[in-house]
Structure formats: structure tokens, C-alpha cells
Amino acid sequence: MVRSQPDAPTVLVVDDTAAVRIVLRMQLIVLGYRVLEARNGAEAVGLGEREKPDLILMDISMPVLDGLEATRLLRSSPQTRDIPVVALSAFPEDECRARAAEAGCREFAVKPIEMGELAELIARNLR
């Protein structure tokens, strides 16, 4: 297995489905990134403030705190406002995309996401 370097960019994966987190984590590790994981938006906000990842992949629909509200909270904090957030959803509807953009997500991607598309998405969005 390929392991990320300690100084590699950090990607926070936020999804309430363990299988989705596992697949994204494995793809990101193969691509050479350091990976953090959160199960809901509340965990994402806390990890974002503590760890300051280089990029956040945020599921939209989650319990406790959904991805859109978590993104709004991240955008409202001086510590996390500049971290790029990419919305992930299994629902590609235009309304879902528009709501993600309004919340402050930089981009929108439909799950499941292939590794090549994931690599391009991250390259476009890393700060």
C-alpha cells in the first residue's frame, strides 16, 4: 500500500457512511494525501478548526449537522474560512448544486467519484 508523506497536503473527508469514507480514504492515500475523517458536520467543523486541512470533501446530507450548515460555519470562522470545501452528493440535481454554492462550497462532485476525477478535483481546489 502507498502511504502519504507526513508533509503531504491534508484532505478532510466528511461523510456519515463508513464505506464512502473508506473508499475515499484509500483513493486519497494512493494519490499521496494525508487523510482525516469526520462522520458528520459537527465533527468536520471541530477537525477543521484544530487541524486546518488543505481541503475538505463534504457530504451534503448527514445527521447531527449537515454539510451545508457545516460549510457555513467553516466560512464564518477566520480560522477556516479559506479552506476549500468541495460538496459531495449522490444527488446531482441543479438545486443541490446551487445550495452547495450558496453555502460556500467551491465545487460540487457526484458520488461515487472515480480516482482520476478525484485527482483532478483536488488539484483544482488545493490552496
- Look at residue 1 and tell me if it is in a domain: no
Residue 55 is predicted with a pLDDT of: 98
Report d(CA 115, CA 27) in Å as an integer.
6
6 residue type, one letter: P
Q: Are 120 and 98 in contact (CB under 8 A)?
A: no
Range of the domain at 47: 10-125
Domain of 75, CATH number, reads: 3.40.50.2300
Q: Are 80 and 72 in contact (CB under 8 A)?
A: no
- Look at residue 64 and tell me if it is in a domain: yes
pLDDT by 10s per residue, the chain, length 127: 455 566 899 999 999 999 999 999 999 999 999 999 999 999 999 999 999 999 999 999 999 999 999 999 999 999 999 999 999 999 888 889 999 999 999 999 999 999 999 999 999 999 6
Residue 91 is predicted with a pLDDT of: 86
Domain count, the chain: 1
- Look at residue 5 and tell me if it is in a domain: no
Report d(CA 29, CA 100) in Å as an integer.
26
Pairing mode of beta strands 34-38, 10-14: parallel
Residue 115 is predicted with a pLDDT of: 93
Pairing mode of beta strands 10-14, 85-89: unpaired
Residue 5 is predicted with a pLDDT of: 65
Instruction: Provide the whole-model pTM.
Output: 0.94
Place of cell 456519515: 16
- Look at residue 3 and tell me if it is in a domain: no
Cβ within 8 Å of residue 89, ≥6 positions away? 59, 60, 61, 96, 100, 108, 109, 110, 111
